Amino acid sequence: MILLDRVTKNYNKRGTALKSITLHVEPKEFVIIVGPSGAGKSTLLKLLTREEKPTSGKIIVGGIDYETLKDRKIPLLRRKIGVVFQDFKLLANKNVYENVSFALEVVGMGNKEISKTIPKVLDIVGLTGKELSYPSELSGGERQRVAIARAIARQPKILIADEPTGNLDADHAWDVIRVLEKINKYGTTVILTTHNQDIVNKLKRRVITIRDGQVVSDKAGGKYK
């Protein structure tokens, strides 16, 4: 599903963010990436969403080789990858329904299809009945679940969650993680970055530890060290 072969990323000003990283993620896997701030986690995710280009190395996601990917095809790639951020990135002037439908409108889904899809995804993230609430009226956990609903509404093959629990208290964090597990069970590859030791240890999934731009450990059922 995801293949990184000796990927290096240099920033002109900040030096090297990733040093020759090689990774392989199978379809339907649930992978947790851990590591201290500045270790290169965010850079890795930005490479996957093609917000950044690698300095060297090969990236292949879902059969698409990024090296030969034309700029105008990037939108099509992004439609296959759902992304969730620490700060939710919801649109404050749109309610829950509109925030999710916005993502579907952008990719050109018809209104009928949208009105069929949204109740399903809101059910998955446990927000049925909150359709008309605005982000400001929701708790942090609920907001993050709206963001997840938005990311999965297009049924991406891969879901990237960049510290989705970073701004949440323990209870809400677990709500979000359970939703991610559910989505993974339905067949979506999930890549999660987090600082939350408790979550990593209890999930017992594959854990990749990155430090100073390098993979220092990669273990199934791993722990946060």
Partner 1 sequence: MGRRLTGFRRVTISGIKNFFRNSWLTIAATAVMVVSLTIISSAVVLNVTAKNAISEISKNLQISIYLKDAASQGQITQLTQDLKSNKSVASVTYVSKAEAQKQFNQTFKSDPTLVAGLQILGTNTLPASLEVSLTDLGQITRVGAVPSESKYENIVDSVTIGKTDVKKTIARAASAQHFITLASIIMAVIFALVSMLIIFNTIRMAIFTRADEIKIMKLIGATPTFIRGPFLIEASMYGLIAGLISSGIVIAGIFSLGIKISNQAEFTATYDFFTSARIIAAMVGGSIIVGIFVGVFSSLLAMKKHLRLKTW
- Closest CB to partner 1 among 106 and 132? 106
By CB under 8 A, tell whether 55 contacts partner 1: no
Shorter beta-carbon distance to partner 1: residue 21 or 100: 100
Using rule CB under 8 A, residue 220 touches partner 1: no
Under the binding rule (CB under 8 A), the answer on residue 9 touching partner 1 is no
| Residue whose CB is less far from partner 1, 162 or 175 | 162
Of 24, 26, 65, 107, the residue at the interface with partner 1 (CB under 8 A) is 107
Q: DSSP label at 82?
A: E
- Exactly one of 22, 111, 115, 139 binds partner 1 (CB under 8 A); that residue is 111
Stretch that binds partner 1, among 14-22, 104-112, 172-180, 207-215 (CB under 8 A): 104-112
- Residue of the chain from 63, 71, 129, 171 that contacts partner 1 (CB under 8 A): 71
Query: Is 105 one of the binding residues for partner 1 (CB under 8 A)?
Result: yes
Instruction: Give dist(CA 193, CA 215) in Å, integer.
Output: 14
- Could you write out the DSSP letters of every residue in 170-185? HHHHHHHHHHHHHHHH
Residue of 89, 116, 178, 219 interacting with partner 1 (CB under 8 A): 89
Residue placing its CB nearer to partner 1 in the complex, 89 or 225 = 89
- If binding is defined by CB under 8 A, does position 64 make contact with partner 1? no
Contact between 67 and partner 1 by CB under 8 A: the answer reads: no
Q: How many Å apart are CA 156 and CA 139, to the nearest integer?
A: 26
Answer yes or no whether residue 75 interacts with partner 1 by CB under 8 A. yes
Q: Is the Cβ–Cβ distance between 5 and 57 less than 8 Å?
A: yes
Task: Please provide residue 213's backbone torsions phi and psi, each rounded to the nearest 5 degrees.
Answer: 75, 15
Residue with tokens 């594959």: 206
18-22's contacts with Cβ under 8 Å and 24+ in sequence apart are 18/43, 18/44, 18/47, 18/54, 18/213, 18/214, 19/212, 19/213, 19/214, 20/57, 20/214, 21/57, 21/210, 21/213, 21/214, 21/215, 22/215
Does residue 155 touch partner 1 according to CB under 8 A?
A: no
Q: Which stretch binds partner 1 (CB under 8 A): 68-76, 134-142, 176-184, 206-214?
A: 68-76
Instruction: Show the tokens assigned to 169.
Output: 């208290």
Contact 88, 146 (CB under 8 A): yes
Rounded Cα distance between 73 and 67, Å, is 12
For partner 1, the binding residues (CB under 8 A) are: 49-51, 71-72, 74-79, 83, 89, 91, 102-103, 105-111, 150-151, 154
